[in-house]
């Protein structure tokens, strides 16, 4: 009887882990692919900020449908990311790099006293400020992950980078990724935590190969120690601690 009860409990846990999306979420992925293609077209004739500003100018300011109530995938994903942070730990200052509409930042603010979101798109920053006006501990500024002000070094005990790095201009050399990992590590206080998450479909997928290279670069970095790695449906997460 005990064995049967344990088996049923295991099935329920696995079912909950796999309930990451519903059939209604399928258009979300098609929408994301169209948005990525539109960004690439603008990038071919203009700079990165213009490309992402153009994306946030359309689709009612939600180019990836991240805040669309018809889909639950993104909401569950953000909840999962925050749940993977070290249990019971409270953070003083958090930084969300590539913050978009601030949906992950809102969840980080439940674990941190204050959170700063930086995004390359000024339009994203404007939308995020409006959407999160009810959260005084959450603020947003325009900023490029490739040019983070030195004045921010050592200011944070939590840095989140979710679905951001693989949007940097291609090709992404390993040396570029390693330099970025070192730069991010300097933003953290000793013992601070970095939450790194990127899309991951399957090993042969080009985007997934980039994701593996990103996570290997951060794991390689002398500035970090890997605390844990987690693979979920369609994304990979690394939790790292600053040396």
Return the DSSP state at 13: H
Q: What is the pLDDT of residues 62-85, one digit of tens each?
A: 999 999 989 999 999 999 999 999
The DSSP symbol for 232 reads: E
* 3-state secondary structure (DSSP) of residue 41: helix
pLDDT at 24: 73
Tell me: the pLDDT tens digits for 170-189? 899 999 999 999 999 999 99
Q: pLDDT tens-digit profile of 96-133? A: 999 999 999 999 999 999 999 999 999 999 999 999 99
Q: Where are the domains of the chain?
A: 73-242
Give yes or no for residue 14 having a pLDDT over 50: no
Distance between CA 53 and CA 46 in Å, rounded? Answer: 11
Share of the chain above pLDDT 90, in %: 79
Q: How many residues does the chain have?
A: 243
Q: Does 16 have pLDDT greater than 50?
A: no
* Residue the block writes with tokens 């309930």: 19
Distance CA 93, CA 192 (A): 10
Yes or no: is domain 73-242 CATH 3.40.50.150? yes
Distance between alpha carbon 37 and the CA centroid of its chain, in Å? Answer: 20
Give the β-pairing of 112-119 and 138-142: parallel
Mean pLDDT of the chain: 90
In 3-state terms the chain splits into helix, strand, coil percentages (rounded to 5) of 45, 25, 30
Token pair 């991240």 is at which residue?
66
């Amino acid at each position: 009887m005990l064995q049967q009860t344990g088996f049923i409990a295991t099935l329920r846990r696995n079912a909950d882990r796999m309930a990451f999306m519903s059939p209604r979420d399928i258009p979300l992925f098609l929408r994301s692919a169209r948005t990525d293609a539109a960004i690439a077209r603008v990038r071919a004739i203009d700079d990165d900020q213009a490309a992402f500003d153009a994306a946030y100018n359309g689709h009612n300011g939600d180019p990836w449908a991240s805040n669309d109530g018809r889909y639950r995938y993104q909401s569950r994903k953000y909840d999962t990311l925050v749940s993977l942070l070290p249990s019971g730990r409270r953070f003083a200052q958090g930084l969300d790099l590539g913050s978009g509409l601030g949906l992950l930042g809102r969840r980080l603010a439940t674990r941190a006293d204050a959170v700063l979101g930086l995004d390359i798109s000024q339009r994203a920053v404007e939308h995020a400020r409006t959407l999160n006006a009810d959260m005084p501990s959450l603020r947003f500024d325009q900023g490029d992950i490739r040019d983070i002000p030195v004045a921010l070094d050592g200011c944070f005990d939590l840095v989140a980078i979710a679905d951001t790095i693989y949007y940097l201009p291609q090709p992404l050399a390993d040396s570029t990724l390693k330099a970025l990992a070192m730069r991010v590590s300097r933003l953290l206080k000793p013992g601070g935590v970095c939450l790194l998450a990127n899309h991951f479909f399957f090993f042969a997928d080009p985007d997934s190969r980039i994701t593996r290279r990103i996570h290997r670069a951060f794991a390689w970095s002398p500035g970090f120690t890997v605390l844990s790695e987690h693979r979920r449906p369609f994304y990979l997460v690394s939790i790292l601690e600053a040396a």
